[in-house]
Structure 1
Amino acid sequence: MSDHPLQSLSLTEFRSYERLDFAVAGRTVYLYGPNGAGKTNLLEAISVLNPGKGLRGATYAELGRRPPDEAHGRSWGVMARLHTGEEEVQVATGSDPRDRTKRTVRIDQQPVPAAQLLDHLRMIWLTPAQDRLFIEARTDRLKFFDRLVYAAEPGHAAAVAAFEKALRERLKLLTEGPADETWLRVLEQKLAANGTRVIEARRAALTTLQTEIDGHESAFPKADLTLTGTVETGDLTTHLSNGFRSSRDRDAAAGRSLFGPHRMDLAVVHRDKNRPASDCSTGEQKALLLNIILAQGARLSAFKPLLLLDEVAAHLDPVRRHALFDETHALGLQTFFTGTDLSLFDGLAGRALGVRVEAAQIIEILE
């Protein structure tokens, strides 16, 4: 048995799949087949075995298979057998029968909070939707980076959620009233405490990620990373508390919160060219993203993370494509690749499982 985590995967009424049982056996896998065959749907099913909404960010109600003659998607389920350390566990998630906008999570058939999934499986992914990450909204980059942070520090997600909840409540008081001083002070204390945890976790993750980038020889251009948007003077918690208090009038007038760690941004520079990623070519931006993703894989190596790369190989020249295969293999990452053409994966012969997908079915398996 491979010591990679994912051993088997079963889908029920998930996206285009009525039913699928897939014996992965801890192998790296490349999925090939025509557009619309269900390759990305399969990656998405794996991605919901972590907290959150998965690699497409879809609502849980959207994940159920919907035949043409039915108004709503069906109840769905995803189950996997994982090899973790010396043990095997069964993890499962699916529609909550009481409310299809929610989901249930079970580990070895016992209901658990979704956050406990990270005790057994860490994940990294890169999808075509992220190709424009460096030139689109700041909030998208911050969400991308926060996912990198809490893959190693699961508590970060809870701190971000608590911060965002208090931020919404404070803004509602400022814009709709009554702007009660006592309640505002309580909320701003929560914002300062959780904001401090959020910033410290982001900074620590950035440091370790940059260290991995600096120390790893790669075919992909090195990225220099910085976090912008929050400047502290002295104690960070005090700085945040004072900043929220002094920005009340401005936030009320603007109808949005203009101060705080939610205003941070991830700045990326192509080291060799000393050029911001946003000014680089599309191919260079893709290569920089892969440099960051591979560094994240190295940073999480103790957790044996799963790497999902959707339609990445097709956008690389043969030299970099083979380099990607070599680097994921050298890092010991169980990786799932997708692509339309079998020839894209020549460099994986003998070290990965090839699977032809068509019409949401596995048609052929190449050992």
Structure 2
Amino acid sequence: MADVRVARLNRLSLTNFRNYASLDLDLAAQLVAFVGANGTGKTNILEAVSYLTAGRGLRRANLADITCKQVQEGGWSVASKVDQDGLDVSIGTGLKQNEAGRRVRIDGVDQRTSDSLLDYVRILWLIPAMDGLFTGPGSDRRRFLDRLTLSLNPAHGRQVSSFEKALRQRNRLLEQGGSASYLTAVEQQVAELGTSVALSRRETVSLLQGTLSEQAELGLPFPIAGLELTGDFEAETEGLSASDQEDHFRKLLEDGRPRDRAAGRTLTGPHLSDLHVRHTAKDMPASQSSTGEQKALLIGLILAHADLSASVSGLTPILLLDEVAAHLDPNRREALFARLDALGCQVFMTGTDESLFESLPIPSQIFAIEDGKARLLSV
């Protein structure tokens, strides 16, 4: 990938994070695996890495709950050295005692928001909690799509947050009988922000579908997904320019005030959109595919998006794959590892047994996790 910066963590330090009072890892490989029994803290390491970018981490946990139970106070921190094609940058984040939000530092300088980390690290993940993505509520798929979009458009997370805040404000005004002029002003905000969110999501779906089509030519043993952003808002605004979409949304909001007031919520808009996924080879919804096929579809999506993220952002993402190898036969595991190696992304994986990673390309690193410590098994 020409003109793409390679971002890798070459050191990771955890303090008072989950079951780790202190953990320091020297990372010298593109592909890194953590092995050990269930409950030893393998996923906790991946969660720590997930806080080195914008957002709420892969578990979306209450920040105060992350502090090591052995300490119970004082907060927690995650720090890393990031190598971008030979340029080292120190990044870190954490929670100080009696503070509500996490702090972020880059080369020792405090940052206003975690969005600043996106200049140095883009992180994608696939965890067991996502196994029901295709059969669960639409809110889960919207959140998944927004995470994919964030790695392509760093402003997207802030837009979604502002859109949701404006929606809540409109709902309160409807409930409390706010004036028409005040509602009009708030609905203008909702329409502007909602249209921006919808356009960013549509672009991500379009770009990702193109990358999935290219991935089909690689002959990987993972089914190719067909993607479509669906919902009443998408159907009503399809083919409209951005300004026309915004005008249409604003009119829908104005006309829908009596209905929305009675319902206690806004009943139209991109906050109700859904990501429809199909198993293209079988021409069937992913939700009707077998559990194994759904897992394979997800893996294919993440692989395609890692490729897309690198080409659009100019920065290779870091992938977090929790317990991904356990659900694959040896041939698919070998194909997955080979594809990850070819993508050039740094990847952190977990598994209960070292044998799951015997087909990792050389050089890779495997750490055994036990009693809050990491022991290097092989390189």
TM class, shorter-length: over 0.9
Match of 1:105 in 2: 104
- Residue type matched to 2:133 in 1? L
1:88 match: secondary structure: strand
Q: In structure 1, give the amino acid aligned to 2:271.
A: H
Q: Deviations over 1:292-333 (max 9, x none)?
A: 100111001231110000001001111111111011111111
Q: 2:282 aligns with which of 244, 269, 273?
A: 273
Pairwise CA distance, 1:37: 0.9
Equivalent residue, structure 1, for 2:249? 240
CA separation in 2, counterparts of 1:311 and 1:146? 23
Once the two structures are superposed, residues 48-92 of structure 1 have per-residue CA deviations (whole angstroms, 9 ceiling, x without a partner) of 01111100110111111012xx7x454100000001244211001
Counterpart of 1:192 in structure 2: which amino acid?
A
Contact 1:80 1:91 survives alignment (8 Å): yes
Deviation digits for residues 99-158 of structure 1, max 9, x if unmatched? Answer: 1x3111000000012110000000110000000000011000100010000111011111
Q: Which residue of 2 aligns with 1:15?
A: 18
- Where do 4+ consecutive residues of structure 1 move more than 3 Å? none
1:212-227 alignment runs, 5 A limit: 212-216=211-215, 217=218, 218-227=220-229
Against the structure 1 CA distance between its residues 246 and 85, is the aligned structure 2 distance closer, same or farther, given a 3 Å change threshold? farther
CA distance in 1, matches of 2:74, 2:30: 30
Return the letter of the residue paired with 1:49: L
Amino acid across the alignment from 1:327: R
Between the two structures, name the one with larger relative contact order (CA 8 Å, sep ≥ 6): 2
Structure 1: stretches of 5+ with no match in the other structure: none
TM-score (norm 1): 0.95
Count of aligned positions: 361
Q: Distance in 2 between matches of 1:52 and 1:199?
A: 19
Please name the residue that 2:61 is paired with: 58
Aligned to 2:335: 323
In the TM superposition, 1:334-353 aligns within 5 A as 334-353=346-365
| TM-score normalised to structure 2 length | 0.92
Matched, 1:148 2:148: yes
Structure 2 residue aligned with 1:364: 376
Give the counterpart of 2:319 among 292, 298, 307.
307
Counterparts of 1:113-152 in structure 2, within 5 Å, are 113-152=113-152
2:366 is paired with a residue whose SS is: strand
8 Å contact from structure 1 (residues 32, 342) kept in 2: yes
* Range with bigger deviation, 329-338 or 264-273: 329-338
Corresponding residue SS for 2:197? helix
Q: CA deviation at 1:26?
A: 4.7
Choose the corresponding residue for 2:43, options 12, 34, 40.
40
SS of the residue 2:358 aligns to: helix
Q: Which stretch of structure 1 is more off in the superposition, 4-13 or 161-170?
A: 4-13
The question of whether the paired residues in 1 share the 8 Å contact of 2:43 and 2:350 is answered with: yes
Task: Please name the residue that 2:91 is paired with.
Answer: 91
Aligned partner of 2:230 in structure 1 is 228
| Aligned-pair CA distance for 1:25 | 2.7
2:297 is the counterpart of 1:285:
no
Identity of aligned residues (%): 43
Q: Which residue matches 1:207? A: 206
State yes or no: 1:262 paired with 2:271. yes
CA RMSD of aligned residues (A): 1.4
Q: Is residue 222–residue 270 contact of structure 1 (8 Å, CA) maintained in 2?
A: yes
Secondary structure at 1:5 match in 2: strand
2:201 corresponds to 1:197:
no
User: Comparing 250-259 with 335-344, which one deviates more in the overlay?
Assistant: 250-259
Task: Give unpaired runs (5+ residues) of structure 2.
Answer: none
Q: For residues 174-185 of structure 1, what are the structure 2 equivalents within 5 Å? A: 174-175=174-175, 177-185=176-184
* Shift in Å, 1:363: 2.7
Q: CA deviation at 1:289?
A: 0.5
Q: CA deviation at 1:250?
A: 1.4
Shift in Å at residue 27 of structure 1?
A: 2.9
